[in-house]
Chains A and B, each alone.
Chain A
Amino acid sequence: MPSTSLALTPGLSSFLKSLKSNPIDTSIENLISLLKRRQICHSRASATATAYLLRSVVSLCRTSESSKLIERVQSVGRRLMAAQPREMVVGNIVRRVLGLIRDEAEDDREAEFALSESESQPQTPRAFDDASLPLDRDSLALGSERSTRPPLTSMFSLLSHPEPEASLPSTPGSQSPGGHNNFTKDLRAEVLEGINEIIDELGQVDEQISNYALEHIHSNEIILTHTSSTTVQKFLLRAATKRKFTVIHAESYPNNHEVTHATVSGNRGDDDDLLSFESFQKPLIAHGITVILIPDSAVFALMSRVNKVILGTHSVLANGGLVAAAGTRVIARAAKVHQTPVVVVSGVYKLSPVYPFDFDSLIEYGDASKVLPYEDGDLVEQIDVQNPLYDYVPAELVDLYITNLGGHAPSYLYRIVSDHYRKEDISF
């Protein structure tokens, strides 16, 4: 019975299921309303849903030009971002997909240049991959240019092709229409593969981050953490396999305390699908780690004993600032006062190229009844209750970011941003 009822409420899993059967416009509207209704919340779920949706958008977009594909993805992306502007990972995923399309378009153009220069072997290999959608790198990459390129397409390639779209239509004029079509098909296939990589990344990100755990957590340290972030838990669990340390867990009342309690005690009931499909491992206490659960208000008092603060986050901004669960800023500030290092663990997908000019607008306000029970009629009448879900933590309070690419100082984030997002996509 409980599983039946779970299936009833729309959410990430139901969305992913319906994605295959529904027409694409329905799926887009569906995701928009799910985001609006907060039935898909949390960074991971939003990112996954967005990536899957864009994959179907790209695979169903029967266009012959990369510029049209970009336009299509942009228009879908705009609507998704407007639906829930505070869920910044949605924008991140859209930008990465856009970046992918641009990169592939450029690659193709280069390959085409190579082709037109060396008109040696014209049509024969192409007849094959016309039928097979999954890309055949080798058959296409006749010009060795592609393989010699550095795998990391970074700012350098950006500079070398200042106007990728403008020059695109002019080049393939000499090609036969069949050959042209061939390229775009490959373009789509390449992009799809890129999106699949993003989806894989989303699935593996916690594992990858936790690989760095042993470098950062040492024996007999006292670690303070906050909220029930899965990333943080996995990070600590990895360290717990080798080392003994103590964890102080702030409960993050009122928005996340129940899940936090469940995380600490290991009694994860039937949670939201985000966590259940991860088949969460045993809690820290089962590994012999001492876990102390404290109210958020006790953070400052205990900070003098803490060796390291490890925090999860909702998203990371381009300047290194964080939008994280409410209460994070207090902890970061307390750590600053006590000169305790603050480590933020976050997947690269949470890293947003948005610069926070007005960080008040990034903070979402949640359900007031979590703070004050609604049944208390007299107080409800007379009191204004605010329940912010997030805090803005300025970059100077954070000492180190650990992403799936490794550890970075806040000042280095700009570089990761420019590696992952194209300049022209930052504000589209």
Chain B
Amino acid sequence: MGPKQKGGGSKSRGNATEEVEETLQAVFLVEQVLADTFETRFEPFTLDKPRCLLPLANTPLIEYTLEFLANAGVEDVFLYAGAHSDQLERYINASKWKASSSPFKQLSFLKSVSSSVGEVMRDLDSKHLITGDFLVVSGDVISNLPIEAALTKHRARREADKNAIMTMVLREAGRNHRTKSTSISPVFVIDPTKDRCLHYEEIDHHSEESHARLNIDAEILLTHAELDIRQDLIDCSIDICTPDVLGLWSDSFDYQSPRKHYLFGVLKDYELNGKTIHTHIIKDAYAGRVRNLKAYDSISKDIISRWTYPLCPDTNLLPGHTYDLRKGSLYQEQGVFLARSCVIGRRTVIGRGTSIGDRTTVHSTTLGRNCKIGRNVKLEGAYIWDNVVVGDGSDIRGAIIADGVVIGKNCTVQAGALLSYNVKIADSVNVSSGKRISKSKRDGSSAPTEVDVVGEGGEGYEFIQGEDEDDDPDDVSVASSGLVYRMPGLSLSSASISTLSSELSEGSWGRSARSSFSDSAERDDNFNADATGSVLESLREGVSADVVQLELVSLRMTANASDTQVRRAIVTSFMQYIEELMAKGKGASQAIHQVFSQYTEVVDRTLFDRNKDDKKDQVDLLLQLQQDLISREKGDTVLLFTAKELYELELVDEEAYEQWWNDERSSESEEMKKVRGQAQQFVQWLADAEEEESSEEEEEESDEE
């Protein structure tokens, strides 16, 4: 399209390298988090359809976001999809965005199995698709914001300072706002003179600790003359990024969510990486995210009352839509059948082919296409999608009724109820507030009908949400009636860190993660993986002990690791290497001798109890050894020879062996006992030698030395 040509052609004022970056790319995260609680917020609808295809004022959610990108002049779009990606792909391929007239030069559909934004970003980095500045937008953003002001500022900043890597677009909103999430409020600490975000934290209003706290680094307070601490911002998750951002994602493989982990982490490590993140606060355009049902409700209202202009129903974003604005925010498509005596109130959207019977009243309701609404029906604040049949005399308030639902005569559907696809409700059934009724199960199979829920002749069962949400019980109860109550909305992903340890254990160093005496698994793992890897590498290359030692120290410093961790790293790497040597055909004693004699110093530097009676460190070393050897081949033999070697190298004293042998940790499990079986004779021999020694008094002492 035009912009790029202009950039390349008429304006080549010498900065040719810059012009390449004129193409604005966008990464578009649809359904970004598979296992996210996010998805479950729209259950049971998301069991059948991806969230971004759910209709918002009768237009699929994704249209608004793509429209926003087209508005911003984006040319390349990369779409990442998670759940139901086949449906989404089919939709996109059939839509105008894939047609030759699409404003996007390229619309790539990237399937991913990743379960978090972090993984998507790392995937993107490895694919090298991004060439210049790009936008990261999640698949549920509704915005009419002209992006160029933010973009200009971002580019100017980046020109001046390569380290200004990201600009977040934030919408100012008052203290209370219907589109803001209520359970967690993001707090931004901003230096208003430079628009720089200094600190970010999410305050959870539903957490156990009643006092919400904000921990601002004293350094920030001391070095900045002016600070804004703002809680009134809607984070619409529109980020303008430089390619460096991806690099940072890749460097920190434990970051999962763009705000809670990434933003927080990068800001915290400012000293380390020197990257700055900036904010662009807008005051006069619309931006919001449909992050939960509450937001679905409020953004629908915003669209109907034209806050999102020009993204309103009468803009007819989809080809084939013929909405037309009448007085009182009434949007009506052509071909609507209204009975003479029905009353259509304000803020209503009615799709084509829908018929409304006599004496029916409709207020603040969105009605899809081809719905049949009977006589004497009351609809208020309801969201009714396509092909729904509502029998005479029914009363529906504040509910979401999905495609193909049939509601019998004289039914009552109370506020907050959600009826999923093709559910049938028999006559005179009362669907109470907050109930979710569905036909399909989580695994995609259809469920047996529960007659007491949908009545005789109905179809569907009560969908109980949140089996996997036990971590947030308070949230579930409120979320279920999301439309009526102020529903807490978790801002962005709350993917747990627990995936991290599992991720690690797949690596070659994972075995140590099982060690029973580690308390803070994640941090240790991190250091352990690094240190073990680097030491093993050195061993293989035969680097001198000094170098290994130096490397270990530096690693220990950066990770602030304890001596135990250092010892574990040494043990793991040494044993791994010994195993490798043995696999090559060396004898156990020979291999052990070779390794330990060469790197005596390294081991020695981790033991600080030479002159004490209580040999804690040495015992720990032996325990680590024992632990590590459980899972290795010929572990018991290796343990014996190692123990001997350590003794001969005077790294471990006899007392330590004794203490180790008597330590209950060394015999706490069957494996532990088994692995130390062979060492028994050695310990026995040591004990005997000691006795001999004591009987023979000082004579033998010089020999022993």
Instruction: With a 10 A CB-CB cut-off, give which of B2, B24, B103 has the most chain A CB atoms.
Output: B2
Q: Are B283 and A23 in contact (CB under 8 A)?
A: no
Q: A9-B148, A14-B2 are in contact. Are A368 and B307 (CB under 8 A)?
A: yes
A-B contact pairs, 21 of them (CB 8 A): A1-B155, A8-B24, A9-B71, A9-B73, A10-B2, A17-B5, A17-B6, A18-B5, A25-B100, A25-B101, A29-B101, A36-B315, A36-B316, A37-B70, A37-B310, A365-B306, A369-B285, A374-B307, A375-B172, A385-B305, A386-B329
**Which residues 94-112 of A sit at the B interface, judged by CB distance below 8 A?**
none
Mark the stretch among B174-182, B534-542, B660-668 that contacts chain A: B174-182
Cβ–Cβ < 8 Å partners of B6 in chain A = 7, 14, 17
Question: B7 an interface residue at 8 Å Cβ cutoff?
Answer: yes
Which A residues lie at the B interface, using CB under 8 A?
1-10, 13-15, 17-18, 21-23, 25-30, 33, 36-39, 82-83, 360-361, 365-369, 373-378, 380-381, 384-387
Q: Are A384 and B305 in contact (CB under 8 A)?
A: yes
How many Å from the CB of A370 to the closest CB on chain B? 8
Q: Are A4 and B99 in contact (CB under 8 A)?
A: no
Instruction: With a 10 A CB-CB cut-off, give which of A374, A380, A384 has the most chain B CB atoms.
Output: A374
Q: Are B71 and A37 in contact (CB under 8 A)?
A: yes
Q: Which of A14, A15, A30, A375 lies in contact with B101, CB distance below 8 A?
A: A30
The residue in chain B whose Cβ has the minimal distance to the Cβ of A83 is B316
Q: Are B307 and A5 in contact (CB under 8 A)?
A: no
Question: B324 an interface residue at 8 Å Cβ cutoff?
Answer: yes
Cβ–Cβ < 8 Å partners of A386 in chain B = 329
Q: A18-B5, A33-B70, A375-B174 are in contact. List 16 more A-B contacts (CB 8 A).
A: A1-B156, A5-B148, A5-B149, A7-B3, A8-B72, A13-B2, A14-B3, A17-B5, A18-B2, A27-B101, A36-B316, A37-B310, A361-B324, A377-B178, A378-B174, A385-B306
Q: Which of A21, A39, A378, A381 lies in contact with B5, CB distance below 8 A?
A: A21
Q: Which of A7, A29, A377, A381 lies in contact with B11, CB distance below 8 A?
A: A7
- Give per-residue flags for B301-312: 1 if the beta carbon is below 8 A from chain A beta carbons, else 0: 010011101100
Q: Are B2 and A375 in contact (CB under 8 A)?
A: no
- Give per-residue flags for B122-162: 1 if the beta carbon is below 8 A from chain A beta carbons, else 0: 00000000000000000000001011110110011001000
Q: Which of A3, A17, A38, A82 lies in contact with B2, CB distance below 8 A?
A: A17
Q: Are A377 and B347 in contact (CB under 8 A)?
A: no
Cβ–Cβ < 8 Å partners of B100 in chain A = 23, 25-26
The residue in chain B whose Cβ has the minimal distance to the Cβ of A26 is B101
Cβ–Cβ < 8 Å partners of A39 in chain B = 71
C-alpha spacing A380/B271, complex, angstroms = 42
Q: Are B347 and A384 in contact (CB under 8 A)?
A: yes
Question: B232 an interface residue at 8 Å Cβ cutoff?
Answer: yes
Q: Are B309 and A7 in contact (CB under 8 A)?
A: no
Cβ–Cβ < 8 Å partners of B504 in chain A = none
C-alpha spacing A384/B328, complex, angstroms = 9
Q: Are B310 and A380 in contact (CB under 8 A)?
A: no
C-alpha spacing A375/B286, complex, angstroms = 10
Q: A10-B103, A369-B307 are in contact. Are A377 and B176 (CB under 8 A)?
A: yes
Cβ–Cβ < 8 Å partners of A373 in chain B = 283-284
Cβ–Cβ < 8 Å partners of B673 in chain A = none
How many Å from the CB of B626 to the closest CB on chain A? 62
Q: Which of B177, B306, B346 lies in contact with A387, CB distance below 8 A?
A: B306
Q: Are A367 and B2 in contact (CB under 8 A)?
A: no
Question: B22 an interface residue at 8 Å Cβ cutoff?
Answer: yes
Question: B67 an interface residue at 8 Å Cβ cutoff?
Answer: yes
Summarize B's interface: helix, strand, loop or mixed: loop
C-alpha spacing A18/B6, complex, angstroms = 10
Q: Are B1 and A18 in contact (CB under 8 A)?
A: yes
Cβ–Cβ < 8 Å partners of B316 in chain A = 36, 83
C-alpha spacing A376/B101, complex, angstroms = 39
Query: What 3 pairs across the A-B complex have the smallest Cβ distances?
Result: A29-B101, A14-B2, A377-B177
Q: A10-B73, A23-B100, A378-B174 are in contact. Are A369 and B286 (CB under 8 A)?
A: yes
How many Å from the CB of A341 to the closest CB on chain B? 32
Cβ–Cβ < 8 Å partners of B22 in chain A = 4, 7-8
The residue in chain A whose Cβ has the minimal distance to the Cβ of B150 is A5
Cβ–Cβ < 8 Å partners of A15 in chain B = 2
C-alpha spacing A277/B164, complex, angstroms = 34
**Which residues 267-316 of B sit at the A interface, judged by CB distance below 8 A?**
283-286, 302, 305-307, 309-310, 315-316
C-alpha spacing A374/B315, complex, angstroms = 21
The residue in chain B whose Cβ has the minimal distance to the Cβ of A366 is B309
Q: Are B327 and A4 in contact (CB under 8 A)?
A: no
- Give per-residue flags for B242-256: 1 if the beta carbon is below 8 A from chain A beta carbons, else 0: 000000000000000
Question: B317 an interface residue at 8 Å Cβ cutoff?
Answer: yes
How many Å from the CB of A159 to the closest CB on chain B? 36
Q: A369-B307, A378-B176 are in contact. Are A14 and B315 (CB under 8 A)?
A: no
Q: Which of B180, B306, B317 lies in contact with A366, CB distance below 8 A?
A: B306
**Which residues 37-88 of B sit at the A interface, judged by CB distance below 8 A?**
67, 70-73
Q: A36-B316, A380-B307 are in contact. Are A360 and B327 (CB under 8 A)?
A: yes
C-alpha spacing A386/B147, complex, angstroms = 25
C-alpha spacing A365/B2, complex, angstroms = 30
Question: B500 an interface residue at 8 Å Cβ cutoff?
Answer: no
How many Å from the CB of A358 to the closest CB on chain B? 10
Cβ–Cβ < 8 Å partners of A380 in chain B = 177-178, 302, 307
The residue in chain A whose Cβ has the minimal distance to the Cβ of B152 is A5
C-alpha spacing A369/B172, complex, angstroms = 13
Cβ–Cβ < 8 Å partners of B148 in chain A = 5-6, 8-9
C-alpha spacing A368/B11, complex, angstroms = 37
Cβ–Cβ < 8 Å partners of A374 in chain B = 171, 173, 286, 307
C-alpha spacing A18/B369, complex, angstroms = 36
Cβ–Cβ < 8 Å partners of B96 in chain A = 29
Q: Which of A10, A82, A361, A375 lies in contact with B283, CB distance below 8 A?
A: A375
How many Å from the CB of B195 to the closest CB on chain A? 16
Q: Are A367 and B7 in contact (CB under 8 A)?
A: no
Cβ–Cβ < 8 Å partners of A22 in chain B = 1
Question: B325 an interface residue at 8 Å Cβ cutoff?
Answer: yes
The residue in chain B whose Cβ has the minimal distance to the Cβ of A17 is B2
Q: Are B324 and A5 in contact (CB under 8 A)?
A: no
How many Å from the CB of B405 to the closest CB on chain A? 28
Cβ–Cβ < 8 Å partners of A26 in chain B = 100-101
Question: B206 an interface residue at 8 Å Cβ cutoff?
Answer: no
Q: Are B310 and A1 in contact (CB under 8 A)?
A: no
C-alpha spacing A6/B315, complex, angstroms = 24
Q: Are B232 and A375 in contact (CB under 8 A)?
A: yes
How many Å from the CB of B84 to the closest CB on chain A? 27
Q: Are B72 and A9 in contact (CB under 8 A)?
A: yes
How many Å from the CB of A44 to the closest CB on chain B? 19
Cβ–Cβ < 8 Å partners of B70 in chain A = 10, 33, 37
The residue in chain A whose Cβ has the minimal distance to the Cβ of B324 is A361
Question: B326 an interface residue at 8 Å Cβ cutoff?
Answer: yes
How many Å from the CB of B94 to the closest CB on chain A? 15
Q: A28-B101, A36-B315, A377-B173 are in contact. Are A3 and B11 (CB under 8 A)?
A: yes
**Which residues 1-38 of B sit at the A interface, judged by CB distance below 8 A?**
1-3, 5-7, 11, 22, 24
The residue in chain A whose Cβ has the minimal distance to the Cβ of B173 is A375
**Which residues 318-359 of B sit at the A interface, judged by CB distance below 8 A?**
322, 324-327, 329, 346-347
Q: Are B155 and A4 in contact (CB under 8 A)?
A: yes
Instruction: With a 10 A CB-CB cut-off, give which of A9, A13, A386 has the most chain B CB atoms.
Output: A9
Q: Which of B156, B178, B317 lies in contact with A381, CB distance below 8 A?
A: B178
How many Å from the CB of A42 to the closest CB on chain B? 14
Cβ–Cβ < 8 Å partners of B285 in chain A = 369
Q: A10-B2, A367-B309, A369-B307 are in contact. Are A30 and B103 (CB under 8 A)?
A: yes
The residue in chain A whose Cβ has the minimal distance to the Cβ of B285 is A369
Cβ–Cβ < 8 Å partners of B177 in chain A = 375, 377, 380
How many Å from the CB of A380 to the closest CB on chain B? 7
The residue in chain A whose Cβ has the minimal distance to the Cβ of B21 is A4
Cβ–Cβ < 8 Å partners of B99 in chain A = 29
How many Å from the CB of A9 to the closest CB on chain B? 5
C-alpha spacing A19/B327, complex, angstroms = 37
Q: Which of A3, A5, A25, A366 lies in contact with B151, CB distance below 8 A?
A: A5
